[in-house]
């Protein structure tokens, strides 16, 4: 029987994010870290009723249950990483347009103010985790999660995320997380993906 959960294909080639995220980083981050989370999830839920659940439901049913911490950590990391790869695109960055641009400006005053706040939040998160742009309660906001935590268990709709675990940037930027985040925003952020997520939330 095939594994219940599989490693999804990248939405671009492993070298297509160079020079900001190198093919070497993608090989390790996607090919080893992400794949291991998928493999661990399948092992942990094998021969249990949880094996029948879709990934998001598996995450929700394991969140907050200490006896399922291993399942949550691995399943949520599968989801978070898949979302992260889609949050980037070759020749990305720039500014959003349409409704997303209007919502960003409404929430933060300007796109420049948003970018500054997002970079600050992502750079100053202590330890490992994620910085997200999410929709919640009719507005959009920046939130941070530590380790494998994810907004989908908080009733928030993720629009975009940057991974600030060290394995996401250390081969390319060493300890310069701020430089990684700045390049991510200016050259990789996939605003079309974020806009699509926001549009689906409005339907």
Reported as a single tens digit per residue, the pLDDT across 100-123 is 999 999 999 999 999 999 999 999
What CATH fold (topology level) applies to the domain 23-86? Helix Hairpins (1.10.287)
Residues 60-77, buried b or exposed e (16+ Cβ, 10 A)? bbbbeeeebeebbbbbbb
The fraction of the chain above a pLDDT of 90, given in percent, is: 95
Q: What is the CATH number assigned to the segment(s) 98-202? A: 3.55.40.20
The residue-averaged pLDDT of 156-166 equals 97
- What pLDDT, on the 0 to 100 scale, is given for residue 143? 98
Evaluate if residue 1 carries a pLDDT over 60: no
Do 140 and 103 form a contact (C-beta atoms < 8 A)?
Answer: yes
Q: Give the chain's mean pLDDT.
A: 95
Could you tell me the pLDDT band of residue 138, with boundaries at 50, 70 and 90?
Answer: confident
Same fold, 23-86 and 98-202: no
Q: Where are the domains of the chain?
A: 23-86, 98-202
């Amino acid at each position: 029987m095939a594994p219940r959960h599989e490693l999804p294909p990248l939405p671009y080639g492993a070298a297509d994010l160079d020079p900001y995220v190198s093919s070497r980083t993608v090989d390790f981050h996607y090919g080893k870290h992400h794949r291991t989370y998928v493999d661990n999830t399948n092992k942990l839920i094998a021969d249990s009723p949880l094996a029948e659940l879709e990934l998001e439901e598996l995450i929700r049913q394991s969140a907050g249950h200490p006896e399922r911490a291993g399942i949550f950590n691995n399943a949520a990391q599968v989801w978070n990483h898949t979302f992260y790869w889609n949050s980037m695109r070759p020749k990305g960055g720039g500014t959003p347009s349409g409704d997303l641009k209007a919502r960003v400006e409404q929430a933060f005053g300007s796109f420049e103010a948003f970018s500054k706040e997002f970079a600050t939040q992502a750079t100053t998160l202590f330890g490992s985790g994620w910085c997200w742009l999410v929709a919640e309660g009719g507005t959009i906001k920046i939130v941070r999660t530590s380790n494998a935590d994810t907004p989908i268990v908080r009733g928030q709709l993720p629009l975009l995320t940057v991974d600030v675990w060290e394995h996401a940037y250390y081969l390319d930027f060493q300890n310069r997380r701020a430089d990684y985040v700045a390049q991510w925003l200016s050259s990789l952020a996939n605003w079309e993906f974020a806009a699509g997520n926001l549009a689906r939330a409005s339907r």
